[in-house]
Structures are given as structure tokens and as C-alpha cells.
Amino acid sequence: MAELWNLIILNPMLNGLIALSSVLGGSFGLAIIALTVIVRLILLPLTLKQLKSTKALQGMQPKIQELQKKYGKNQQKLQQEMMKLYKEAGVNPLGCIWPMLVQFPVWIALYQSIMRALATTPESLLNLFQHLYSWGVVAQAIPLDSHFLWLNLGSPDSTLILAIIVGGSMWVQQKMVTAPSADPRQKSMNSMMLLMMPFMFGLFTLMFPSGLSLFWAVSNVIGIGIQYWITGWGYLRRGTSAQVVTKLGGKGGITKRP
Amino acid sequence: MAVNPSARSQNLSFPADGEWEYPITAPSGGGLSCSQTSASVAIYGTPAVDEALVFSGGYNGKVYALNASARSQNLDFPQMRDNEWFYPKTSEVIGAIVGSPVISEDAIYVTSSNGKVYCLDKHFGDKKWESDVLGDKLWSTPCIEGDKVYISTFDGHLYALSAEDGSITWSFAIAYPKIGFVSSPAVYEGTIFAGSFDGNLYAVEIGESEPLWNFTGGNCFWAAPVVSNSTVYAGCLNGNIYAIDATNGTELWSFDVGSPIVVSPILVDDSLVVAAESGNVYVINPKTGIGERIRNPGNDNKPTINALVQASPCAQEGIVYIRGQDNCLYALDIEQGRVIWKFPLTTQ
């Protein structure tokens, strides 16, 4: 299984990343940015599908909340009514999950490629040779130049700059899609999640090689761009939940795009 | 750890006469941890031994000199009167040390991941000189010949430094394409040999600006080659050991050991001993390239030793000692072609 993974996904991506570095003047930082953009573009149809499903589900929130109020004590009835609602609206509640699941292996491979290519220790450099193609362009790039801007891509960023960029961009991306809730418990949970993930990734940035953090930062920025393209600034600019619900519903949350 | 072969062959309890162990640790902590603790230091290079002194470079960026007598008595480290020291002498560190230290007369030479070569006084650990930054990081083991220190770098340079003051007296780089050197250099009769990242073994006459020849293997020559009687013996990651004419780069023979070779071969009497990463050890006739595998004492279908081999073997009086990745030391009698004992290096 591991060999199949290496053969089909990891090795092509790893060699592609190193070849890109060679083509881009030996800059591994630029190669990480370029590959992240390429992978994001390839996965764009899936991302769009995921975002549209999410948006449609969010547009249905007022109706779902109504149903919850109405059938809150009868869970079975509530489920039935909700399924009926989804059916009428032509929305699959799991529609936003499977595109995300399909993307996971690609992100894992990208993560592994960056970590392997950095080869920060002797054993990791030795291990890297087991995955390299006999392309001249790959051999010329090894070992990779780990310096990019102020960063040593093989070490954590000792300044807080990258941690702030990663955490901040993740917060913006999440804020754009997190629907404010009228339910105090849900509201509290949303607020916590909105802060916790960016905080955790900011912390990871201080612990993991900055090459990986660069990938997170670029990926977040692209994610914000795609999100903006689909929904504008979304919930980042919006105020109360009532406004949100009205606006999103009015903008066509569950209406199909032409 | 110091192991007495005689005691191990008799299976005496550790430590027997002359045996000792000393954990090299360094402060660790930071990150999410609030308190500072100490952690074992990774050591990649083979220690260098000069009578009672053992020199070792740590991945924590410090060089250590240990005295066998002081360590046997388990005294506090360092015992200055026994010529024990560490460098730098403060809490500072130089870059991570990967290559082996090399002793020459009263000096020891180490390379560092900060791209510099350091020359230290053997007895007191004082710095005699440090070179300019020669590359992004230096992981190779320097080679000392006469009054010169030879270094290969990841950015594709070979350097000759003055052993006196560390100044660069000659440098060489492959003009095009720009390829780095992955292996440590070997010097033989005025020619330097080193493996490159593109799967070539280069021979460069010292003082020249063009390579004498280059030999293409199926993969990288990760470990430093060994040169004897005008023949270069180089292990390749494609699993072949090649014998190459040192004068013109012609292949004399090759021998497939079945798995990557990541450590240098060694010449023991009239035999070439090659350890494959898989754990198989071969004894090869260096003239003919005909060889045999040393059999596993317990199961003939298994590799010679039941562990990966990524550390350089050494030999004494016809016995080859190999540390396996299972953290055991294996002793192999080359003449008899068998493993004579095995000793776990984790006694505590």
C-alpha cells in the first residue's frame, strides 16, 4: 500500500516540486508557492463544489432553525422534516464533505513532499534518494536551497511574522464561512473554533519547518481568494445573525447559479 | 561506548576491563515545554580515537574529547587533567556536526552545518582556526593529506585548505551543470575522488580546474570511496560496488549486493568487505570482483545481520565490527566468514 502511494502520488509530486525548484532558479520557496497554486488550481472544481454545497446549506439555516424550534423535542420527526427540506431544495447535506475527502490525500502528499524534499537530517537526505527520478533537472536541484526571504525553510521561523500570517489568514478564511448563530451555545462554540484553529496553526508554525508553514500560508491566501470569488467577503463583513440569514437567503443561498 | 572485543567474545558482563559508556546529553526544552531537561545528543560521525582520547562531534553542534580512563571511572565530564574538553567551551554551539572528526598530529578537524571547517587543539580543545563559510552546510568528513585539508561541499565545490591556517589554497567546481558533491572526498596520489548528486563519481587532480574523469553509476555514490593500488572502490545506492581504474575511470568490475550501499567498503588484508544497507555483508576479492556473502548464523535466508547497516564498519586483526540499526554491535570473522558475536549497545 505504501509503495503504491509512493509510486502514484508521492513520488510524482515530490519530483515535480524539486524540478519546479530547479526551473525557478533553485528557489525552493518559490517552488512551494508554485506547486501550492498548481494543486489548488487542479482541485478548484472540487473546491467550488464544496463551497457551493456549504453555501447552499448555510442558506437553508433559517428554515432549519424553524424546524428545530418546531420539532425540537421529536428528533425523529425533525430528521424527517430536514431530509424533506434538503430534498425539496435539491441539496445533499453530505455534498460538502466528499470533495473535501477527495482533496485530503493530495494535501497529505503535498505535505509529505515538502517535508521529504527539505531533507533536514542525513537520514532524510538518504531517504530522499529512494524517491527521486533520474532526471537531470532533479539532480541539479539537490540539495535544495533552504533560504527564502528571511526564512530558513528547513527550520521553524524564529520571528513571529509567519505565525501571524498563517494564523491571521486562517482566521480570515474561517470567518468568511462561519455563519453567526442565534443559539448562544452554538455561537460560543463557533467563536471558540474560530480562534482555536488559527491559534493552533500559528503555534505549529513556531514548531514545524517554515517550508511547511509557507505552504499553509499560501494555501490559506488562495483559499481566501476562491472564497471571495464565490461569496465575496461573506460573514467577514456581516453583522448580526438576522442580517446574515436575510442577506444570504436573499442572495440566493439555495438558489442554483445559472 | 567502549567495548572490549575479548570480553565480548567471552560474553562477560558489561563493563569488563577497559569498557565504559558515557551518555552525551544536551539541554533541551523550549517550545511547548516549560521546563528544561536534557536529551541524548545524536552522533552521526564515526568517533576518532587517539590512544586514550576519543573525539566525537555531536548533532547539537559541539565537539567532545573523552578520556577512556576518566570515563571508566565515571568521573564528572570534562576532566581537564585527563585532556577532556568540549568545544565551544561556553554554552554556545557551532552548527550541527555530521561528518567524522579527523585527527592529524596535534589537531583535530571537524566540519559543521554552519558551512565552516574547524581546527582544534587536540589536547585542550582550543580553536586554532576556522575557515570561511565554504557552503550552505558541510556534512562531509574532511580528508587530510600532508599539510592540506580537503573538503567536498553540497554546492559542488572541492576545496584544499591550508592545515596551518585554514586559508583556501585551491578550489574546484563543476562548471556545468551545477552539481553538488554528496560523498566525503578520498585523496590518492594527488587526485581527489568524490560522488555527486547526479550519480557520478568524479576524479579531479588537485590543482586542476577540469575533472580527470567521471564515472556514472545507477544512483548516487553516497559514501566516500576507498582507493588502493590505483583502484577506486565505490559503493552506489543502486546496490553495486564498483572497482574503477583510478587513472582513467574505466570500470574493472562490479558486484551487486542487492540493496543500497550507504557506508564505505573497507579493505581487510586481501579482501574487500562491503556492507549493504539490508544487513548483508560480502567479502570480495578486490582483484577479481568475485565475492561471497557472510551467512546469517541463525537463518541462511536472512541477511548477515538482522538489521539495517548505515554506520561505517571498522576492522582490527581480521575482525570487522559493524553497528546495526538495531543498536547492536556485530563482530564478523572475515577469514571464517561468520558472525562471531553480537552485543547490544543499550546497557542502561
What pLDDT does B30 receive? 52
What pLDDT does A257 receive? 36
Under the banding of pLDDT at 50, 70 and 90, the label for residue B191 is very high
- What is the mean pLDDT of the segment spanning A9-14? 90
Instruction: Quote the percentage of chain B above a pLDDT of 70.
Output: 97
Chosen for mutation from A21, A128, A129 (greatest number of chain B CBs closer than 10 Å) is A129
Radius of gyration of chain A (CA): 22
The answer to whether B264 and B224 have CB atoms below 8 angstroms apart is yes
What pLDDT does B187 receive? 97
Picking from B219, B245, B252, the residue whose alpha carbon sits closest to that of residue B230 is: B245
Of A122, A123, A207, the CB nearest to B31: A207
> In total, how many domains does chain A have?
1
The answer to whether B242 and B256 have CB atoms below 8 angstroms apart is no
Quick check: A129 contacting B, CB < 8 Å?
A: yes
Picking from A12, A13, A34, the residue whose alpha carbon sits closest to that of residue A24 is: A34
pLDDT digits (tens, 9 = 90+) for A41-83: 888 888 887 777 777 777 777 787 788 888 777 888 888 888 8
Structural domain of A137:
2-257
Chosen for mutation from B140, B155, B220, B238 (greatest number of chain A CBs closer than 10 Å) is B220
Residue B9 has pLDDT above 60, yes or no: yes
Grid coordinates of A239: 453583522
What pLDDT does A240 receive? 44
Distance between CA atoms of residues B122 and B109, nearest Å: 9
Most confidently modeled range among A13-27, A112-126, B149-163: B149-163
pTM for the full predicted model: 0.82
Residue A121 DSSP SS3: coil
Grid coordinates of A55: 453555501
pLDDT digits (tens, 9 = 90+) for B203-251: 999 999 999 999 999 889 999 999 999 999 999 999 999 999 999 999 9
Under the banding of pLDDT at 50, 70 and 90, the label for residue A245 is very low
Picking from B136, B132, B96, the residue whose alpha carbon sits closest to that of residue B112 is: B96
Under the banding of pLDDT at 50, 70 and 90, the label for residue A95 is low
Of A123, A139, A203, the CB nearest to B198: A139
User: Chain B interface residues facing chain A, Cβ-Cβ under 8 Å?
Assistant: 31-32, 44, 98, 136, 139, 154, 177-180, 197-199, 219-220, 222, 237, 260, 262, 310
What pLDDT does B79 receive? 94
Chain B residue closest in CA terms to A139 = B198
| Ramachandran sector of residue A140 (left: φ over 0; alpha: ψ -120 to 50; beta: rest) | alpha
What pLDDT does A136 receive? 80
Residue B179 DSSP SS3: coil
Query: Does A134 sit within 8 Å of B136, measured CB to CB?
Result: no
Residue B99 has pLDDT above 90, yes or no: yes
Distance between CA atoms of residues B65 and B111, nearest Å: 16
What pLDDT does B29 receive? 59
Quick check: A206 contacting B, CB < 8 Å?
A: yes
pLDDT digits (tens, 9 = 90+) for A175-233: 887 777 666 777 777 777 788 888 988 998 998 888 888 988 998 899 888 888 877 77
Residues of A in Cβ contact (< 8 Å) with B219? 129, 134
Under the banding of pLDDT at 50, 70 and 90, the label for residue B327 is very high
What pLDDT does A258 receive? 35
